[in-house]
Amino acid sequence: MRKLPLAVGALAAALTATTLSAASPAQALDEVNTTKLRNAVTVNGILAHERVLQRIANQNDGTRSSGTPGYAASAKYVKQQLKSYGYKVTEQTFTFPFWRELAPSALSEVSPTARDFETGGFTYSGNGSVTGTVVPTTDVQVPPGPTPSSSNSGCEPGDFTPASATAPQIALTQRGTCDFVVKAQNAQAAGYDAVIIFNEGQPGRTDVLDGTLGSPAVEIPVVGLSFADGSALYAETQAGPVTVTATTQTETDLNATTSNVIADSPGGNADKTVVVGAHLDSVAEGPGINDNGSGSATILEIAKQMQELKIKPKQKVRFAFWGAEEFGLLGSAHYVENLSDAKLAKIYANLNFDMLGSPNYARLVYDGDGSAFDVPGPPGSGQIESLFTSYFDSKGLATEPTEFDGRSDYEAFTLAGIPAGGLFSGAEVVKTPEQVALYGGTAGVAFDPCYHQACDTINNLSTKALNELGDGAAHAVATLALSKSGFFEDGSRVAAAPKKKSSSAARYLGSHAVS
């Protein structure tokens, strides 16, 4: 899952109006009375699904991660429910490189000073325990450079002194201009037995570092350090030999199997299909009841109530429950990549709901027109943003934009030129006092203090958030399903896609930084 850009807090501080929604773009969509569906989609109905997901996690080692029995049971439950509601349900299976930590990564100094470090793990790190001499790369910047991504440490093979052929050695490198996997691969190629990557040191780049290597590309352990600990370790190496022990306990399966669950409404024009998506998988570390049981349970309940109310959509509505999002948005990418040109042209829009119940929540709407972050979605995305902001405005509820930063399942759709949008209640970024004034909650505490942890359980939900964002989701689904008009001024559904401005999407995979 996605991390809320830090700029949002600054944006909240700069604005004092009761709502932070941007000016609405021209919108050709019809106004649709969605009251019946919103009234039918209740917190109790959403929680009924969440309780089943929690039980599934309880019965499967506390996780619903793709590639585990917990995910398979989650997909089975969703399939059974959708079939009972009357949807045409298919399961799209695919293989992916499964990885998980069996125990937290560890790093300790043996000499000259015995101490333990707080360390971070890297998704797709190799497995093992190595005790060896620390050898820094060239281009380490201590003190830090003036701007983020200014250190080129470890990005070139020549940054690494060839490792000893007989004595274990551990490379020390720094976050910077290239992907973590490049640093790790260069270290491995130079003969090192493990890698330490420490943070870069600028504001926002000081904490203990973790991230992803993107794929099983190295066999050696890779661990992270804060800038303070990394720079202190670097200083020690300048005074004499330093020995540390780096330990990772991981499991990798290069050909694990998982699936997407896809359900089509019985009616509606298949040439104008609205894909309503939420990822169904959790991280391996926990049950994922907020991330993203909350999004999955909400769209499952919307699907149920649309059938209960006998709503006859004008557009085909396709509910999609994505697998392997936490491994790099793999399920949604697999779905879009395997659409034929003809089928791709029939996708009208994508609505993405990823985390709707954060306990210290905000009401965040994807910045479809790019007015806040200068990273617009494809044509029609601004109208989807306006669909959400206009609804919340009508209820006197403040919203603020969140960036299309490539960290959730809308990404495959926007890259294909499909209009997209959705809601987000916040993850690990802390809530500001200005946001407390808008939404309530507690300043200085993360939107979701249990983000990607074992404590993301049924007790890690705000029913108020589920109520408000659940209604917003139901309103958007019903409006796109029932509107006679399209997004554009002439009522059509398609426009030429502009050249998309570069975004931070290339620097991320799913929920984890890669550089």
Phi-psi map region of 380: left, alpha, beta (phi>0 left; psi -120 to 50 alpha): left
The two three-digit tokens of residue 337, written as one number: 């990549």
Please, which residues have CB within 8 angstroms of residue 499's CB and are 6 or more apart in sequence?
A: none
In angstroms, the CA 296 to CA 290 distance is 9
Pairing type for strands 508-509 and 512-513 reads: antiparallel
Contact in structure between 229 and 172 (CB atoms under 8 Å): no
The two three-digit tokens of residue 37, written as one number: 């569906």
The two three-digit tokens of residue 273, written as one number: 């299909």
**Amino acid residing at 348:** Y
Query: Does 325 qualify as catalytic in the annotation?
Result: yes
Count of beta carbons in the 10 Å neighbourhood of residue 189 = 13
Q: By 3-state DSSP, what share of the chain in percent is helix, strand and coil, each rounded to 5?
A: 30, 25, 45
Please, which residues have CB within 8 angstroms of residue 339's CB and are 6 or more apart in sequence?
A: 347
Phi, psi of 409 (to 5 degrees): -75, -5
The two three-digit tokens of residue 285, written as one number: 């570390």
Q: One of 50, 101, 301, 325 is an active-site residue; which one? A: 325
Closest C-alpha to 399, from 423, 375, 415, 416: 423
| Residue length of the chain | 515
**Active-site residue set:** 325
